[in-house]
A and B are shown apart, each in its own frame.
Chain A
Amino acid sequence: MRRLSAFALALAVLVPALARAGEPRAAAVVEPAEGVAGRGLTLRVTITGNDAAVIDVPDMPDWTVIPRGRSVGVRGEDGEPVAAYRFEIVPRRSGTLSVPALTVETGGARLTTSPLTVAVRPSPAPPRALAGRDVFLDAAVSRDAPYVGEAFVYTARLYRAVPAAAVTLEPPAFAGCVVDPLPGQRDGEVRDGGRAYATAEVDYLVTPLRAGSLRLGLPTAKLRGLGKAPGETVVSGPELTVGVRPLPAYAGTVPFTGLVGRMALDARLLADARGEAVYELTLTGRGNLEAAAPPTLAAPPGLAVRSLPTEGEVAPTPQGYEGRRVFRYALAAREAGEFTLPAVRLAVFDPVAGAYGVIEAPARSFAAAPEPPPGPVAPPLGPPPVATALGSLTESWAGRALLALLPPALWALALLPRRRSRPAGEGGRPGPSAVAEALRRALDRATDASREPWPEVRDLLARLDRLLYSGEAADAAALAAARDRGLALLRRLGP
């Protein structure tokens, strides 16, 4: 009887659980958890199962709801199908606003999500200096006194009362910081002094690396086609100073490697029976995860530890860097046996609490079998590659340009006019044809060709023409004599 009761009790517990495993489930979440009036948030409704769903969104007077589509995928190692419906919800006022429970109909079932609350801050008031200006660039930081390694948001905000063709916002240099732009530009509209201003905001996640006064230089905005102004208009914003606080002195025994934020540490063994296992330490949370160095493992005797490449993904968000880093270690046992890797502890500074805390990954044990026989021999490589000079030329852009331009250059050289060959003179003296041409030019310039010595010049010119151009075999001695006589005449005529 007692056994029957236990069986009935087990049935009562297990059957509903098994039934729930196949039933569709719906959950809603708002991201991020805090917002600003007038700025959109994401309401994500996640529904398991393959069936299409109809979501009944009730009247939400505090919100403007814009459907943003549906994406389908799988989740988890068992590949559970999941559909995510996204809505952009824009708070109409500040305060603690509620998102009511949503009714979801899918696969013949009627589901209800849990109601949510969201803290909404009022939108920032226009700065006083905006009054009377057409364009104004403002800047602000989310924290005035962050700690070293604590990320804060730098916001550049452009107010514009006149239209512009193109706007480019450039942040300051951020010297001594790690900076990542946050995705998305927020556009809006404010009224000040009876004028409507279009606003554009760009955020940067800034992590200071040094304590002290951090000067954030001038942000600039370049606007083209602003109103009726020709060319480009450059507007500068204010210079900000942030007092970066040093981390308080650390006196704990757990190693502190500069981690700042709120994090958790976990450990697992991926393979634990073949002599070599992979030990994984996963650091998750929010903070300067990228600065985390692989923790040093205190390996027990007989166990060799080798670091593997670190994996993970860390993304900048308005709340800071979020994600995970996975430190992997290959473990090789020199002999078979049971090994226990002790718990790993790391000290983390929590900037919100202003104090150090300790995160811990639990100890893990594994049984190592004797070292397996060596694996297959690596296959031999092929012959080493050989690069020819021509191949190197055709593989580089400079070489291609050279080879492409060389043939047309040679063709262009062939286009150059050829210099006519002149009958060579002797000993640097002009030849007969040059003498003839000089005499001809002198005769052309003569004012009275009937007086001496022009008849003699005319006779000599006729003789030279006959000797040079008649086509008969010229007597070299007669040609030389005519040239010498011509030179003598030219000397007489003067320059």
Chain B
Amino acid sequence: MKLPTIGAAVLAAAMTLAAGHLTAQSQPQQSPAQDDSEKEIERYRQMLSDPFSNPGFLAVDRGEALWAEKRGAKNVSLEGCDLGEGPGRLEGAFARLPRWFADSDRVMDTEQRLLWCMDKVQGLDTKDVVARRFAGPGRASDMEDLTAFIANKSSGMKIEPQLKHAKELEMAAVGEELFFRRGGVMDFSCATCHAEEGKRIRLQGLPNLATPGAAAQATMASWPTYRVSQSQLRTMQHRLWDCYRQQRWPVPEYASDSLTALTVFLQKQAAGGEIAVPSIKR
């Protein structure tokens, strides 16, 4: 089921080329090698659009098992965890996260809420889980797997940002400020790359997330995603971590409030987008 490494590398390279072809149409004629790549990409795309071929669904399956597994000092599963729709209710929960929770009096995204439930419901020491927050070779991530499983239960539903509670509104407003806040040795903000239509870095197209609409919907509705270039399923936590890395900012603390604020802001921009996850991306 897992893609061979070479296949994944070829696909990553091919998809990069495809992005170039789509956006750089002013370029001179394609070389025969590029034409061949095009055909290869299309073949891979068709193959991977089949859910049974998207390795991201392996993460969903692992997440399902983890959700039901009894763990922690209390030796209970996460089925007593309330993700906003009531304990154990998963359908549509992800579509309405992040949101404010009365028990913690905090706005939490999926990962923050999971960590809260592991601690409060299961009595689980989350140190090891946080240490494995991003999967790597030979290291599975409970957080990525659980988030994939939970998100998948909202597939086909529309993004419904929760903007009723004062703290939810604060999150959205702060997220917007953070989106435009420049810093680091390169003076970069999120908006440096994501505030105009049709721009790209090298050959990689950049969604405009500064205005609500189709680009933001397509982006937010397709995370979590299986990243072919990394051979891992990734969630928004990893996407934002990697964005800040490329912005030349310091390492953002995992499952911290600025990341949730940005996510609330982005969900607001993406309201109504139809969730289809896990997706597959370069």
Check if A and B associate.
no
Tell me the A residues contacting B by CB distance below 8 Å.
Answer: none
Tell me the B residues contacting A by CB distance below 8 Å.
Answer: none
